[in-house]
Amino acid sequence: MELLKENWIRLAYGSISACIVWIAYRFHMEVLADREAFDRLSYIGGIATFIGLLITVSEVLHAISISKGIRAEARALLAEARKIDRAALLSECLLLIDRVNDDLIDNRRSTALQCVQQARRSFLRAMPPSAGSDALCRELSELEAHLQGAIRSNDRQARLSKRVLTEIQEHSLKVKQSFEHLISGRSEPHVS
C-alpha cells in the first residue's frame, strides 16, 4: 500500500501512456490516410512534447531545489552532532582531570599522568586549533610535565611532598576551571 502511495504519479502516467499507445496503434491507418488529420496530430504532438519538456525541466529544477534544502538540513544536523560530540569530549576531559586529584591523593602518579594524557588527546579531538585551545593545551602540557617530574622522583612509593602535591593539585584545578569555562561558553576570568 505504501508503494502505491509513493508511486501513484508513475502508475498514472504509465497507464495513460499505455492507453495512448493502444489508441495510436488502433487508429494509425485512419490518421495516416488523411493528410489533414495527420498534420493536426503532428502539431498536437509537438505541443505535447514541448509541454512535457517544460514539465521535465521544471521537475529537475524542483528536485535540485529540494536536494539543496536537504543538504542544508543535513549540514545543520551534522553541526549539531559535532557540538554534542565536542561537549561529550570536553565533559570527558573534565572527569579525567577530576580523577587526577583522586589518583594523586592515593599516590597513583602513573594513573594520574595517563588521565592527563587522555584528557589532552580528547581535548585536541574536540577543539579546532585556536588561541583559546592553545592556552589550555599549554596548561595541560605543564600539568603533564609536573606529573612526569613527580614520577621520575627517586622513591616512587613515597608520598609526594606537601608542596609538590599542592602545586600539582593547584595546576590541575586551574586546568579544570579552564575546561569549565570552555564548556559553559564564558570567557575566562582574568586572574593573575
For residue 7, the one-letter residue type is N
Q: How far apart are CA 105 and CA 112, in angstroms?
A: 10
Domain boundary among 14, 36, 68: 68
Of the listed ranges 24-38, 54-68, 104-118, 119-133, the least confidently predicted one is 119-133
Cell reading at 14: 504509465
Contact 90, 123 (CB under 8 A): yes
Do 98 and 121 belong to one domain?
yes
Say whether pLDDT at 3 is over 80: no
Tell whether 86 is covered by a domain: yes
The pLDDT value given to residue 188 = 47
Three-class secondary structure assignment of the chain: CHHHHHCHHHHHHHHHHHHHHHHHHHCHHHHHHCHHHHHHHHHHHHHHHHHHHHHHHHHHHHHHHHHHHHHHHHHHHHHHHHHHHHHHHHHHHHHHHHHHHHHHHCCCHHHHHHHHHHHHHHHHHHCCCCHHHHHHHHHHHHHHHHHHHHHCCCCCCCCCCHHHHHHHHHHHHHHHHHHHHHHHCCCCCCCC
90 and 152 housed in the same domain: yes
CA–CA distance, 35 with 40 (Å, rounded to integer): 9
Question: Is 106 inside any structural domain?
Answer: yes
* pLDDT tens sequence across 97-132: 889 888 888 888 888 889 989 988 888 888 776 656
Q: 91 and 58 in one domain?
A: no
Domain interval for residue 24: 2-68
Give domain status of residue 17, yes or no: yes
Is 56 a domain residue?
yes
Q: Which amino acid is at 128?
A: P
Are 37 and 115 contained in the same domain? no
Please report, to the nearest 10 degrees, the dihedral formed by the alpha carbons of residues 169, 174, 175, 180 taken in order.
Answer: 120
Per-residue pLDDT tens for 71-97? 999 999 999 998 888 888 888 988 998
Predicted model pTM: 0.58
Q: What angle do CA 67, 71, 74 make, to 5 degrees?
A: 135
Q: Which amino acid is at 48?
A: A
Q: Domains in the chain: how many in total?
A: 2
Within a domain: residue 28? yes
Instruction: Return the CATH number at 136.
Output: 1.20.120.660
